[in-house]
Structure 1
């Protein structure tokens, strides 16, 4: 497995990491993703480690904490062989007014609970799951810096921040000498290229590594969805499409048509090609893959160890291109502001 630096840090991570959103299966959203138990999770982790994939990503809200608990059980006795990434910020306790956000109160309590569920003394990469506009950035960053100094967290990142949220946080961290974010867990795929408009240039400038979630476009780039064919019975889309990013169907079919053509040329699967395209994009440190079972996991692991040709990348670039929002389309008309890709 290829490894890459996580942004401008000294930590090397595998090009592919494993997401535990399928662990537990509690609730409508996560139930539609999967219901992996401890025994199956242990087997999936075995396969990952055999392939050189040692980074496992979770979050407190995944199945109400069950995903973290299952991950913690599945890695017992081999904590030193894995890297754990997890997240918090979203509401965890519906009955507690402080059970949400990035306040000092919530983060300190949440991290301790996550460490207990994960059966570990430290988290390798902790990411804020979203931006909390109600809590001062200084309060959040000072708290996270304290947690790093206490040894409970080793590296920091964010997820689902806009560019200005992240840049403001970096500026505040630099002002006070607090620990900087080095990772940005963001949605990016052939049918969701908004990451390229602002967050990719920011990552290049500030040394922030992309940790890419939903690289198959919320299940739309699995190869199961094609023009004129019924939707698959088993998919992340039924029951959860309201949570996923909207995609114009004709554009989706255009991208899948291009993927099909390249699949014929390479002998690779549609998901493998979609993942490999992402691996060649600037700032991408690791791609979070998920799997309901061993077969899906082994298929996704086949996305590494080879590369699309520049011509094939260009075909996919053209098929998936959209006009960026203002001011990004305007900025790209000025020769001194070239696109990062």
Structure 2
């Protein structure tokens, strides 16, 4: 599978990443999925300390045992978990440096390739947060750091003030918000984008119509239920090298030069194999890309 350089780092990540949040809590099943992913060329695994109250990191740790040198391991920090399962935002230097130790223990490793801030607001102590990540780099606990955010004003501050190598953000044919000002800005600053949600909760998959009936009754972002149905109908009528809607949607998310990897979550080996097949589809031409854009909305961010 094609590997892309993550920003200005020495990390080369597979263009399809494995989102580990969907692995579930069955360790044997998770191991099977992770092993198959690695065998198929996926080297980028993404988790977070928040998922399943830390259990997801522990399952990932068990699943990568003996395979650590084959993967780029990414996790996230910043959400303070309470014993009752609730959480609050806590991006302080002290908290980040405390929590990385717990993540390392759960992941059963002595370093994290990419440590990401799991959110962020413009009112955060941003310089203090950056100091925490820089300290961890100096200590050798993490190799690089990034941010997972969809807030343009927050991302811009990290672009100006930090040495982030990546930004994880939601991006799909139905959520084109990053196109307005983020993708070009990040490309110009040699910061990579890692996308999530390329299939829009399944509403851009090969089962889109069924998913929309189940999940899209109240609409999705700026799209009404009827608009979702109309858009998918139009997308399915476009013949792009005989590709399925899933393949077209994933290739769309990967088209911009800023995007290094599209992270997709799976809960079975079958789903994983289908996603891997998608990445073998022909890349979109610029004409294809523009045609797809003409069918969907160029929506904008409302929260900064």
How does the TM-score come out when normalised to structure 2?
0.89
Aligned residue for 1:114?
103
From 88, 96, 102, the equivalent of 2:91 is 102
Structure-2 separation of matches of 1:265 and 1:204: 26
CA contact (8 A) 2:167 2:191 kept: yes
From 199, 209, 217, the equivalent of 1:226 is 209
CA contact (8 A) 1:102 1:132 kept: no
Matches within 5 A, 1:67-216: 67-93=56-82, 100-173=89-162, 180-216=163-199
Are 2:272 and 1:283 equivalent residues in the alignment? Answer: no
Higher mean C-alpha displacement, 183-192 vs 3-12: 3-12
The SS at the match of 2:57 is helix
Aligned residue for 1:321?
297
Count of residue pairs brought into register by the alignment: 300
Q: Which 5+ residue runs of structure 1 have no aligned equivalent?
A: 24-34, 174-179, 327-341
Query: Aligned Cα RMSD in Å?
Result: 2.7
Higher mean C-alpha displacement, 188-197 vs 158-167: 158-167
CA contact (8 A) 1:85 1:126 kept: yes
Structure-1 separation of matches of 2:289 and 2:170: 19
- 1:230 shift after superposition: 7.4
Instruction: Look at both structures and tell me which one has the larger radius of gyration over its CA atoms.
Output: 1
Aligned residue for 1:251?
227
- 1:65 shift after superposition: 0.9
Sort the Cα spacing of 1:146 and 1:97 in 2 relative to 1 into closer, same or farther, 3 A. Answer: farther
Q: Which 5+ residue runs of structure 2 have no aligned equivalent?
A: none
Deviations 1:37-85 (A, max 9, x none): 2111111112211221111000111111111110000111111111111
The SS at the match of 2:34 is helix
Matches within 5 A, 1:265-284: 266-284=241-259
How does the TM-score come out when normalised to structure 1?
0.80
Matches within 5 A, 1:7-46: 7-23=7-23, 35-46=24-35
- 1:265 shift after superposition: 5.4
The SS at the match of 2:45 is strand
CA contact (8 A) 1:163 1:202 kept: no
